[in-house]
Amino acid sequence: MTQIFSKAGICIPVTVLRVGPCIITQIKTINSDGYNAIQLGYSEISSHLLTRAQIGHLNRSGAPCLKYLQEYKVDEPEHFTIGQIITVDSLKIGDNVQISAKSIGKGFSGYQKRHHFSRGPMSHGCKNHRQPGSIGAGTTPGRVFPGKKMAGRLGGYRITTRNIQIIDVNTEQHFILVKGSIPGKPGNLVSIQNK
């Protein structure tokens, strides 16, 4: 993340994203697969890092060895061709996009950090500063209900942020600037969809 200043002198927090170029490796239609989608590939790598099945799949479409493959549902797959390269040229300044990514994993976390519980009293005789308190009734029902908010693993799941505005597009270096923050840590792989 960084910040830029608008012409009016307003400071705007932005996230810098490298987008593509991505290659269309497969087109799925209702007749062949039951739904309309395109498969995009990103980041060329050496062939010895892929399995023979992956190399065969990419050779069928004439694409180079690609590290990441991702499907996107589309309404009209006939507008795309196999081998077509998708770049930032298709994005415009002011457009709203939705970005999906894996959030930052924070490990095993307690009640206050994970569920925003309030803490216990901090007075001298109290011994439950960051403990949960009661987790259920006694003899009836005699168990803890499923879904009870407790300590556990926090983060590391897929999050989608919608209506993120594109502030700037750099077509030469394949960068875009989007307003605000996005899920995930720096260097994370993200999925961008035009609304």
143 within some domain: no
What is the percentage of the chain residues whose pLDDT exceeds 70?
99
- What is the pLDDT, as a whole number, of residue 194? 84
- What is the pLDDT, as a whole number, of residue 133? 87
72 within some domain: no
**pTM of the full predicted structure?**
0.79
Give mean pLDDT, residues 99-109.
Answer: 95
Instruction: Report the candidate in 99, 104, 69, 85 with the shortest Cα–Cα distance to residue 177.
Output: 99
Q: Exposed, middle or buried, 43 (CB in 10 Å: 0-12/13-18/19+)?
A: exposed
Structural domains counted in the chain: 1
Query: Residues 56, 57, 61, 65: what is their CA dihedral angle, to the nearest 10 degrees?
Result: -80
51 within some domain: no
What region, left, alpha or beta, does residue 111 occupy, with left being phi > 0 and alpha being psi -120 to 50 degrees? alpha
Peptide bond into 21 cis (omega under 30): yes
54 within some domain: no
Give the tokens for residue 153: 């693993």
Q: Reply yes or no on whether the pLDDT at 61 is more than 90.
A: no
116 within some domain: yes
- What is the pLDDT, as a whole number, of residue 90? 86
- What is the pLDDT, as a whole number, of residue 161? 95
Q: Which domain holds residue 157?
A: 89-122+150-173+182-195
Give mean pLDDT, residues 28-32.
Answer: 92
194 within some domain: yes
pLDDT digits (tens, 9 = 90+) for 62-102: 899 999 999 999 998 889 999 899 999 889 999 999 999 99
104 within some domain: yes
15 within some domain: no
- Calculate the average pLDDT of the chain: 92
The position carrying tokens 């390269």 is 85
Instruction: Report the candidate in 70, 72, 63, 78 with the shortest Cα–Cα distance to residue 31.
Output: 78
User: Residue 16: pLDDT band by 50, 70, 90 thresholds?
Assistant: very high
pLDDT digits (tens, 9 = 90+) for 150-178: 999 999 999 999 999 999 999 999 999 99
What is the percentage of the chain residues whose pLDDT exceeds 90?
76
- What is the pLDDT, as a whole number, of residue 52? 94
- What is the pLDDT, as a whole number, of residue 181? 94
